[in-house]
Amino acid sequence: MPSFNVTTDTQAPLGAAMPDSGTPIEVPPLYPRLPKPFATVKSFCEPGKHKLKHSILRIVAIGLSLLTFTSAQAAEGTVAFEVLKPEAALQAAQAALENCRASGYQVAVAVVDRFGGIQVVLRDQLASPRTVDTAIGKARTAAGFRTNTTDMVSVTAEGTPQAGIRNLPGVIVIGGGMFIEAAGSLVGGIGVSGAPGPHLDDICAQAGIDNIEDLLEF
């Protein structure tokens, strides 16, 4: 039988057991440790993330600047004004109607906006149908001239320079029409027709305005 010589070689293959110790040799890694993929991607994308953030902030700032400039340009060609809300107009009309009804008068009440557009018209059940047009005309006249109709009676009397105003379409120069203001700004007019006299129409119209006074103080 052939024989073999066994020798102890410290240069044994990697991972082989040393014959004298019986413990495995610690093998160094074949390749250096690489960074984790996630850490690599994060470190690579981090600069781009900051650049994107700065770009977005810059775009937002430019947009706000343009919006401010556009608003300023638009403001030069427009005007802002106040108008009565429908709820306030209805409340004033109802208060005027109730005031006249409490005094035994059957009337019609109209509330218009600052341009004469009708917002509310109420006619009590026994008020004459003609009182509707008269109430609307009073409200529009007061708002259009920014003067209570009672105050217009004397200044538009026959023989005065303003007498022709009475002949304008839709103008009614009889007591009962009052203009409505809020913080010094015209917001509408109220007209009442049907009471036994124009001065009594005035009282009911004033009651309507007084009822929404808290809503107009802004």
pLDDT tens per residue across span 138-178: 999 999 999 999 999 999 999 999 999 999 999 999 999 99
Cα–Cα separations (whole angstroms), residue 4 to 1, 7, 11: 10, 10, 19
Encoded tokens for 178: 């009052």
User: Lowest-pLDDT range, 11-15, 109-113, 137-141?
Assistant: 11-15
In a domain, 18, yes or no: yes
Give yes or no for a contact between 170 and 53, defined as CB atoms under 8 angstroms apart. Answer: no
In a domain, 1, yes or no: no
Domains identified in the chain, total number: 2
The pLDDT, as a whole number, for residue 172 is 97
Which among 116, 92, 87, 94 is positioned nearest to 186, based on CA atoms? Answer: 116
> Within this chain, do residues 196 and 90 fall inside the same structural domain, yes or no?
yes
Domain that holds residue 47: 7-80
189/178 Cα distance (integer angstroms): 6
> Within this chain, do residues 99 and 169 fall inside the same structural domain, yes or no?
yes
Q: Round the average pLDDT of the chain to a whole number and report it.
A: 82
Percent of the chain scoring above 90 in pLDDT: 60
Q: What is the pTM of this model?
A: 0.67
In a domain, 2, yes or no: no
Which among 88, 174, 79, 94 is positioned nearest to 135, based on CA atoms? Answer: 174
The pLDDT, as a whole number, for residue 21 is 53
Which among 152, 213, 214 is positioned nearest to 178, based on CA atoms? Answer: 152
In a domain, 32, yes or no: yes
